[in-house]
Amino acid sequence: MNKIILLDELTAGQIAAGEVVERPVSVVKELVENSLDAGADQITIEITEGGKSGITVYDNGHGISQEEVSLAFYRHATSKITSVNDLYNLSTLGFRGEALSSIAAVSRVVLKTKPPNEKAGQKIEVKGNEVISLQAVGCSSGTSVQVTDLFYNTPARRKHLKSKGTEAGLVTGMVQNIALLRPEIRFLFKHNDKTVFHTPGSGRLIDSISAIYGVKTAREMVEVNATEGSITLAGMISKPSINRATRQYISVAVNGRYVRNQLINQAIDEAYGGLVLTGRHPMAVLKLSLGQGQVDANIHPAKMEVRFDRETEVISFIKEVTRNQLKKEILIPTYEQRGAAKREHEQWNESKSGTVWTEKYMDGVLPVQKHFESKNKQQNENILSEFNVKTPAKKLQSDVFRDSINDNSKDNTREASASPYDINARIGNAKVQNSEPQTGFPFLHVIGQIAHTYIIAAGPDGLYILDQHAAHERIIFENLLAMMGSEQKETQMLLTPVSLELDYKSRVLLQENLWDIRNLGFEVEEFGADTYVLRGVPAHLSTSKGETDLIDLLEELSDIQKDKDFYLAFTIRLACRNAIKSGEILSLSAMDALVQQLSCTNEPYTCPHGRPTMVKITQQELTQMFKRTN
């Protein structure tokens, strides 16, 4: 056996550095956090060649006194804590005393510093944790740290660094996140002597978002501010029209510390369920504050991860607050916004395979909340509460409306042979009975239909274009959700009951999930040994497709029965399958009824898949299009 030995200080330092300093972005993070802890309100970050050639961070903080400069590079030398008890009441970003020591172990560091009350500053040069020089110098108050020759003594680590552009991108992302979460600090970030961004330090989050993401993006952000007990969430989130292909644009701080937390990101994503397309993610800048001792930041040397004492409560709070704020906003995208979003989505699709939806679906990643394995009434009530569904939205004469089209249904892009007169005759002069429209939903005057696909309507502030399929899909979807929580199920009884021909697996699944299936509005009865009869279908679906819809449901249960989202996913599919399609001719009365019913849904601006139900061309945009002067 090999003998146990004590590692020399250089080897031990390099091992420790490997936990803290993985690449240039790690160095930048540690130095910027030291500047923030030093009370700086102006911080400048300069990198060269992605940080591989050089990193310099300047600040105007309180500096380091002459007596303490040399101590700053010792391992576990810190001014942040004095005992283990302090770890549970941290008020600073750094506390381990590893940053400067770990950085100096694998690079050459030159530090200049001067407290405001001292006449001269100090300059110390350290390489491989060996002090090369220490002398008095003239410099401004604060601290500057210059790091060069990163990983000079660990060539294997340097070899595995990515390209200059990739490393620069990682550093930029880190600095952006910190700058967004600290709008009271004036940040200047440069790469290869070129300014990347410059925040004003005004203390207003909207100003920092404008400086980093642009004014157009900032205009589409909405404020969040909520408190429950000792938990507070504040910041800004994007409207669904502003979304990205990754979660990198979700910036979260916990008690002032920028962190990456999968559960928080997932909660924010789920809050946007049904509002953005699959594979897209919102933008957010959020500060989460918890009481002392409720969060542990001492679980990883890099301090990018935290652990919550009441994790479930915290995550639920984030999701609820985000979702509730979105419900308050008018989420109709303008023509210009939808154009930009469409271009982004097309670029994203080009970079992915054609089976993205299938793969996502089979993996259980759906554009909706993830709660749908309903085995009892209470679970369904929780689902309804999450979607804020209280009572079923009244039927858009669904049986009449659909049946007028079903006779000529062939596929999603067909030209319908049913005439507007036929549809009018079916609907008759019956008035649509429904609840009050959503607050903020514009009063729309229907003008007509384009390409048998889009409804054109005049609004108080511009022209509105509605996708008839997406709008009807939203109505049916919410009707189905509402039915789940209603004591009286709206079921259309079939004139002739249908005997179901099911294999053994389907029969077992039908027995196991009979309560849920009936809760959707299917009227199914056992009829002798191993035989079932379908007597009715949900009121908002087509009677002619009832048997197919139920069999499809059982097949999906068989394929993804372990997926908690199958029930909601299938509800979305039912709505899609039974909604009017592109190519179907509608009368004005049918279009009016459709718009009226849409206005009374809880999420009228998107279909369940996250596609918009309508876009708006503002009066100003029309003026610009026609080059009018007034």
Rounded average pLDDT over 407-435: 35
Across 233-244, average pLDDT: 90
pLDDT tier at 12, thresholds 50, 70, 90: low
Higher pLDDT, 446 or 573: 446
Question: CB neighbours of 442 closer than 8 A, spacing ≥ 6?
Answer: 332, 459, 460, 461, 464
Rounded Cα distance between 473 and 316, Å, is: 28
**pLDDT surpasses 80 at 344:** no
Q: Quick one: average pLDDT of 36-56?
A: 94
Give residue 70's pLDDT.
80
Higher pLDDT residue, 237 or 376?
237
What are the structural domains of the chain? 9-198 (3.30.565.10), 220-347 (3.30.230.10), 398-617 (3.30.1540.20)
The pLDDT assigned to 174 comes to 93
pLDDT over 70, % of the chain: 71
State mean pLDDT over 527-541. 80
Task: Give the least confident one: 239-243, 328-332, 577-581, 584-588.
Answer: 328-332
Q: Looking only at Cα atoms, what is the longest distance across the chain?
A: 98
pLDDT tens digits for range 290-322: 987 777 765 555 556 777 888 889 999 999 999
Residue whose C-alpha is closest to residue 147's, from 177, 171, 166, 165:
171
Could you tell me the CA-to-CA distances from 577 to 200, 249, 472, 548 in Å, in that order?
51, 34, 11, 11
Give the span between the Cα atoms of 469 and 586, in whole angstroms: 12
Q: Which two tokens stand for residue 181?
A: 């979460």
What confidence tens digit (pLDDT) does each residue in 181-198 have?
Answer: 999 999 999 999 999 999
Residue 43 pLDDT > 80: yes
* The residue to which tokens 């301090």 are assigned: 303
- Strands 532-538 and 523-526 turn out to be antiparallel
Check residue 405 and give its pLDDT: 38
- Report pLDDT for 402: 42
pLDDT at 279: 75
pLDDT computed for residue 159 by the predictor: 87
Please report which confidence band the pLDDT of residue 5 belongs to, taking 50, 70 and 90 as the band edges.
low
Phi, psi angles (nearest 5°) of residue 68: -105, -5
Mean pLDDT of 1-26: 62
Give tens-digit pLDDT for 247-279.
888 999 988 889 888 899 999 998 998 788 777
What digits encode the pLDDT tens for the residues 345-387?
444 444 433 333 222 322 333 233 333 333 334 444 443 344 4
pLDDT at 339: 53
Tell me what percent of the chain is helix, strand and coil, each rounded to the nearest 5.
40, 20, 40
Residue 198 burial class via C-beta count within 10 angstroms: exposed 0-12, middle 13-18, buried 19 and up: middle
Nearest-angstrom CA–CA distance, 613 and 605: 5
Q: What is the pTM of this model?
A: 0.61
Q: What percent of the chain has pLDDT over 90?
A: 31
pLDDT at 39 over 50: yes
β-strand partners of 526:
532
Q: Work out the pLDDT band at 438, boundaries 50, 70, 90.
A: confident
Name the range with the highest mean pLDDT among 110-119, 518-527, 553-562: 110-119
Report the pLDDT value the prediction gives residue 89, as an integer from 0 to 100.
Answer: 56
Q: Does residue 173 carry a pLDDT above 60? A: yes
Q: Cα–Cα distance between 268 and 261 in angstroms, integer?
A: 11
**pLDDT score recorded for residue 552:** 73
Q: Once rounded to an integer, what is the mean pLDDT over residues 68-92?
A: 60
Which residue from 385, 271, 265 is spatially nearest to 323, judged by alpha carbons? 271
Residue in 165, 159, 136 with CA at minimum distance from that of residue 51: 165
Residue 400: the pLDDT is 38
